[in-house]
Structure 1
Amino acid sequence: MMKQWKLKEIVLMSIFGVVFAVIYLLFYFFGQGLRNFLTPFGLAPFGYEVIFGIWFIVSIIAAYVIRKPGAAFWSELIAGTVQVLIGSPAGPRLIISAAIQGLGAEVVFAATRYRNFSLYVLVLAGMSAAVFSYAWGWFQSGLAALTPGLIAATFAVRVLSGALLAGLLGKYISDQLAQTGVLRGYALGKELQEKREKEAS
């Protein structure tokens, strides 16, 4: 899957994975605080759901920037593995969760044969990661024990979070990085450069 990859692309994907592992871990504690805050209102199940999309964002960014098969999957897996190594309370099973989330995003990019990285596709990838993660959580996190109404509500919130915090925000962050010129050696940076040259001609 990675035969066509350049060394610098592998390095960048790994950097993304490590950086977002730290961010993910911070959001784990933020989500716990949010859950505690919402508990008196009977909304504890939504504590993590509203921010769940943040845990898919590295797969969107890596795929959008590098545009190679496997970028979404491997970046998410790296992030999950690093989280475990730096002491995530979620434990080793987090690696499986990360792999499933990354696969959820990857299938959308694969469906386009890695040729379409429009906002629409990025948002769909974030939503797909949410669907895959919810399916895994159904068995692993006890989501099946919720009432039908809560299942529908938490599922909808997670998918929306995936669309906004992974798809939309992931594109925004990537575009901002590309504007600085640090990604000029990668697919997204080259696309931006070609666009500038066309506008200037």
Structure 2
Amino acid sequence: MTKHWKLKEIVLMSILGVVFGIIYLAFFLVGQGIRNVLAPFGLAPFGYEIIFGIWFIVSIVAAYIIRKPGVAFTAELIAGVTEVLLGTAAGPGLIIAAAIQGLGAEFAFAITKWKDYRLRILILSGVFAAVFSFTWNLFSSGNIALAPALLIAMLAVRIISGALLAGVLGKWLSDKLAKTGVLRGYALGKEIQKKREKDAA
């Protein structure tokens, strides 16, 4: 498999980045809502952690579909830029956060030299994105000042969210999309087509 991106892959990656950037922006409101519900119970810090995996999902979806080096990082970065251009309250610093999340997601695929896209690697990608982003937030959001026990609990929730909402959900969405036939020209679509032909033989 060549490591060079084809034009159609760049286009798809860009489309995914923009679409999920819009979704990411909407989820800021969802996170705030959850935070408000949890605040009376003293659990406000977990408001965003519960759904944090959503903000990693495009890196996993794009990488799983296209399967080439740099796709996870770039798709996440495009989503971050989209959020900033649409006026996110997080400001331009969000681009740095997106880059770090993308690096975390990309790291899992790099470990396998971009040859393994099974569910466990997608989950690992979500986990690394969670760990990388959490480390960044310790300083960018001032979380380092929180109690160690609270930080450990927040990290655990973010890791679970990354594994499920980015890894598992990302694979499920991609597989559903591929089964419609619209991804025939991409790595995931070709894999599914080969499986269908094998089952039919």
Contact 2:69-2:110 at 8 Å conserved across structures: yes
Q: Which amino acid aligns with 2:38?
A: L
SS of residue in 2 equivalent to 1:180 = coil
Instruction: Summarize deviations over 1:63-117 as a string: whole Å, max 9, x none.
Output: 0000010010000000000100001000000000000000001011011111100
Aligned partner of 1:116 in structure 2 is 116
Scaled by the length of structure 2, the TM-score of the pair is 0.98
SS of the residue aligned with 2:130?
Answer: helix
- In 2, Cα distance between the equivalents of 1:31 and 1:104? 22
Pairing 1:1-201 to 2, within 5 Å after superposition: 4-201=4-201
Instruction: Tell me, in whole angstroms, the C-alpha distance in 1 between the residues paired with 2:30 and 2:132.
Output: 23
Percent sequence identity over aligned pairs: 68
Preserved contact between residue 31 and residue 51 of structure 2 (Cα < 8 Å): yes
Aligned pairs, number = 200
Higher alpha-carbon deviation: 138-147 or 8-17: 138-147
Q: How far is the alpha carbon of 1:3 from its aligned partner?
A: 6.8
In 1, distance between residues paired with 2:6 and 2:79? 20
Name the CA distance, whole Å, in 1 between partners of 2:7 and 2:42: 49
**Runs ≥4 residues deviating over 2 A:** none
Contact kept? 2:3, 2:69, Cα under 8 Å:
no
Deviations 1:131-154 (A, max 9, x none): 000000011011111111101100
8 Å CA contact 2:3–2:68 kept in 1: the answer is no
Distance 2:45 2:19 in 1: 27
Q: What letter matches 2:30 in structure 1? A: F
User: RMSD of the TM alignment (CA)?
Assistant: 1.0
Distance 2:73 2:187 in 1: 18
TM-score of the two chains, using structure 1 as the length reference: 0.98
